[in-house]
Amino acid sequence: NGNGNGNEAAASTEEDAPDVGWFRLSAEQQNAFATVFRTFYVYAGDVLVEQHVALGALERENARALERTGEITEAATAAYAELKKTYETLTKGVNALSEALRVPMPALPAMEAKEKESQGKVALQRGVDGADGSGGVNWDDEESKLFYEDLPDLRAIVPAALLPREVASVDGGGGGGEGEDEDEA
**DSSP conformation class of 104:** P
Helix (H, G, I), strand (E, B) or coil at 128: strand
Is the confidence at residue 25, as pLDDT, over 60? yes
> Of how many residues is the chain composed?
185
pLDDT at 20 over 60: yes
pLDDT digits (tens, 9 = 90+) for 72-130: 899 999 999 999 999 999 999 999 999 999 999 999 988 654 455 555 555 555 545 44
- pLDDT for 158 equals 86
At 154 the pLDDT is 79
End-to-end Cα distance, the chain: 134
pTM > 0.95: yes or no: no
**pLDDT tens per residue, range 134-178:** 445 567 788 878 887 888 887 888 888 888 877 545 555 544 444
Using alpha carbons, select from 157, 152, 180 the residue that is nearest to residue 167.
180
**Tens digit of pLDDT for each residue in 46-69?**
999 999 999 999 999 999 988 888
> Tell me, what amino acid is at 71?
E
